[in-house]
C-alpha cells in the first residue's frame, strides 16, 4: 500500500513567491562560478546603521530578555510621538503599535480592517509583498494601473471609481513609492481623501521612505489630510530610515480607537515585538539631522548617476524618481524574467554581472511590466558604475533584445 502525504492548504499553494528573491539560486550558482554580482534587486542599503542604534544594543545592561508590552515599549512609543511631530504628525503614544517590521504592521492592518473576500485597491506597480499579505488575509487586490510614461503618477480618480464595488473596503498606497520612487503630490492625496470619504473606505499608507524625498519636493502624509482621521492607517518601519532592515521594528498607527483596540488583539496573539530592536530603535531617535542630510545627498547622487546612465543606453527609458531609492526602467527586451535569469546564468562582462528584479512581479495585472525591471540604487557609486556598464554590455548581446 502506497504512502501518501497530507495536502497543504489552498492558501499556501496560492501564496506568491517573492519576485525580488526568486532569482537567488541563480545568483548563488553564478557566485560559485567566480562571478561578482552587483545586487540591484533588493532594497538593502549599504549605508551604515547609526552608531547610536548599535551602541545601545552593545551597552545594554539587561539580565533577562523579557517580553515587552504587546504594543511595544511605552518609552519608545512616547519618543516616537516626538519624532512624528517633526513631520507635523500629531499623535498619542496609544495611537501606535510597534510591530515586527513594517511587514507585520501591514499584515495586522489587513486582518483588522478586512473580511475574507473584501477588496482593496492598490495603484500598481506596488511592493510585491502586498500581494502576499493580502493573500494571507484572504483579501482581494484590485489593481489600478499607473504608467511609466507619466512617471507612475497616481492614476486618475475616475479609474479608481470604475473598480469600486460593494466589496471594496480600502485603498493602499506607498508614499514615497516602492518600486517606482514616485512621490505623491498634495492634489493627488486630497483627491484620494475625497474618494475615501465618499465611499467610506480605509486608507492604508506605507510611508517608510519619508526621509528620502528629493529635489525640494514635499513629503505629505495621509495623517495630514483633514476629515478622514478614522479612515487612515499609517504603516512605518525603521528598516530604511536607519539602514536597519534586520532589526525588524515597524509601526502601525491610527487615531481610530476601534481599529487600534482590535489590532492590539493580533499584537497580543504574537506576544511582543523584538526587545533588542526596540532598544536600538529608541536610541536611534537621537540620530542627528546631519546623518539624514548626508544619506539623502548620497542617494541623490546615486539616483542621478543611474538615471542618466540608463537613459543613455539605446532603447532604455527610465523616469526620474522623487523619493525612496528605486526606479523602474523599460528595457528593449522580450521578457524581463528571462533577461534577469540570463544575466545570472549566461552573461558576464569581465567576470561581473548584475542582479535586477523583473518588474512583472510588482504588477497584479497579467502581462503588465514584462519589459520592465526595478533597480535599487543602494550600492556605492563605483559599484553602480560597474553595474550600469554590465547592463549596457548585456543589452548589446542579449538574444531576446528588441532593437
pTM for this predicted structure: 0.96
Residue 3: predicted pLDDT = 79
Instruction: For residues 153-177, give the mean pLDDT.
Output: 98
The pLDDT-based confidence of 22 (bands split at 50, 70, 90) is confident
* pLDDT for residue 179 is more than 60: yes
The pLDDT-based confidence of 30 (bands split at 50, 70, 90) is very high
How do 326-330 and 352-355 pair as beta strands?
unpaired
228-284 pLDDT, tens digit per residue, is: 999 999 999 999 999 999 999 999 999 999 999 999 999 999 999 999 999 999 999
66-116 pLDDT, tens digit per residue, is: 999 999 999 999 999 999 999 999 999 999 999 999 999 999 999 999 999
Residue 126: predicted pLDDT = 98
Residue 183: predicted pLDDT = 98
3-state per-residue secondary structure call for the chain? CCCCCCCCCHHHHHCCCCCCCCCHHHHHHHHHCCCEEEECCCCCCCCCCCHHHHHHHHCCCCCCCCCCCCCCCHHHHHHHHHHHHCCCCCCCHHHEEEECHHHHHHHHHHHHHCCCCCEEEEEECCCCHHHHHHHHCCCEEEEEECCHHHCCCCCCHHHHHHHCCCCEEEEEEECCCCCCCCCCCHHHHHHHHHHHHHHCCEEEEECCCCCCECCCCCCCCHHHCCCCCCCEEEEEECCCCCCCHHHCCEEEECCCHHHHHHHHHHHHHCCCCCHHHHHHHHHHCCCCHHHHHHHHHHHHHHHHHHHHHHHHCCCCECCCCCECCEEEEECCECCHHHHHHHHHHCCCECCEEEECEEHHHHCCCCCCCCCEEEEECCCCHHHHHHHHHHHHHHHHHCCCECC
Residue 219: predicted pLDDT = 97
CB 59 within 8 A of CB 400: no
What percentage of the chain carries pLDDT values higher than 90? 96
Residue 256: which of 233, 225, 226 has the closest Cα? Answer: 233
For residue 158 the three cell numbers come to 475616475
- Going along the chain from its start, the domains and CATH numbers come out as 10-48+290-397 (3.90.1150.10), 61-284 (3.40.640.10)
Instruction: For residues 144-153, give the mean pLDDT.
Output: 98
Instruction: For residues 121-141, give the mean pLDDT.
Output: 96
Residue 1: predicted pLDDT = 57
* pLDDT for residue 10 is more than 80: yes
* CA distance to 29, 141, 307, 358, per residue, from 397 (Å): 21, 38, 21, 19
Residue 274: predicted pLDDT = 98
The Cα 171–Cα 34 span in angstroms is 46
State the average pLDDT for the chain: 96
* pLDDT for residue 367 is more than 80: yes
Instruction: For residues 23-51, give the mean pLDDT.
Output: 95
Instruction: For residues 174-191, give the mean pLDDT.
Output: 98
Residue 180: which of 103, 245, 126, 219 has the closest Cα? Answer: 126
307-350 pLDDT, tens digit per residue, is: 999 999 999 999 999 999 999 999 999 999 999 999 999 999 99
Amino acid at each position: 500500500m502506497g504512502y501518501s502525504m497530507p495536502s497543504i492548504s489552498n492558501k499556501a499553494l496560492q501564496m506568491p513567491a517573492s519576485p525580488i528573491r526568486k532569482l537567488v539560486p541563480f545568483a548563488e550558482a553564478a557566485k560559485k562560478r567566480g562571478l561578482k554580482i552587483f545586487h540591484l534587486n533588493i532594497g538593502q542599503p549599504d549605508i551604515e546603521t547609526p552608531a547610536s542604534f548599535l551602541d545601545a544594543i552593545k551597552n545594554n545592561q539587561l539580565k533577562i530578555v523579557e517580553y515587552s508590552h504587546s504594543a511595544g515599549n511605552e518609552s519608545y512609543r512616547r519618543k516616537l510621538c516626538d519624532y512624528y511631530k517633526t513631520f507635523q504628525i500629531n499623535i498619542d503614544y496609544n495611537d501606535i503599535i510597534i510591530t515586527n517590521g513594517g511587514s507585520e504592521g501591514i499584515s495586522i492592518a489587513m486582518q483588522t480592517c478586512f473580511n475574507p473576500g473584501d477588496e482593496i485597491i492598490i495603484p500598481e506597480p506596488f511592493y510585491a509583498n502586498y500581494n502576499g499579505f493580502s493573500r494571507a488575509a484572504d483579501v482581494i487586490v484590485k489593481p489600478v494601473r499607473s504608467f511609466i510614461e507619466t512617471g507612475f503618477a497616481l492614476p486618475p480618480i475616475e479609474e479608481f471609481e470604475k473598480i469600486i464595488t460593494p466589496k471594496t473596503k480600502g485603498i493602499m498606497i506607498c508614499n514615497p513609492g516602492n518600486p517606482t520612487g514616485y512621490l505623491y503630490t498634495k492634489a493627488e492625496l486630497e483627491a484620494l481623501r475625497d474618494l475615501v470619504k465618499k465611499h467610506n473606505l480605509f486608507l492604508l499608507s506605507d510611508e517608510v521612505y519619508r526621509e528620502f524625498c528629493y529635489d525640494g519636493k514635499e513629503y505629505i502624509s495621509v495623517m495630514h489630510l483633514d476629515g478622514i482621521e478614522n479612515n487612515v492607517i499609517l504603516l512605518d518601519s525603521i528598516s530604511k530610515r536607519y539602514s536597519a532592515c534586520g532589526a525588524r521594528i515597524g509601526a502601525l498607527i491610527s487615531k481610530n480607537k476601534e481599529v487600534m483596540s482590535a489590532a492590539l488583539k493580533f499584537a497580543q496573539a504574537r506576544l511582543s515585538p523584538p526587545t533588542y530592536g526596540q532598544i536600538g530603535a529608541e536610541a536611534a531617535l537621537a540620530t542627528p539631522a546631519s546623518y539624514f542630510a548626508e544619506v539623502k545627498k548620497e542617494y541623490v547622487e546615486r539616483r542621478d548617476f543611474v538615471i542618466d546612465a540608463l537613459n543613455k543606453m539605446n532603447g532604455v527609458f527610465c523616469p526620474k524618481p522623487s523619493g525612496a531609492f528605486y526606479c523602474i526602467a523599460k528595457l528593449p527586451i522580450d521578457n524581463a524574467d528571462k533577461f534577469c535569469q540570463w544575466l545570472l546564468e549566461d552573461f558576464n562582462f569581465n567576470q561581473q554581472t548584475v542582479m535586477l528584479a523583473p518588474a512583472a512581479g510588482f504588477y497584479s495585472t497579467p502581462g503588465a511590466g514584462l519589459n520592465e525591471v526595478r533597480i535599487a540604487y543602494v550600492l556605492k557609486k563605483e559599484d553602480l558604475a560597474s553595474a550600469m556598464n554590465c547592463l549596457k554590455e548585456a543589452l548589446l548581446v542579449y538574444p531576446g533584445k528588441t532593437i
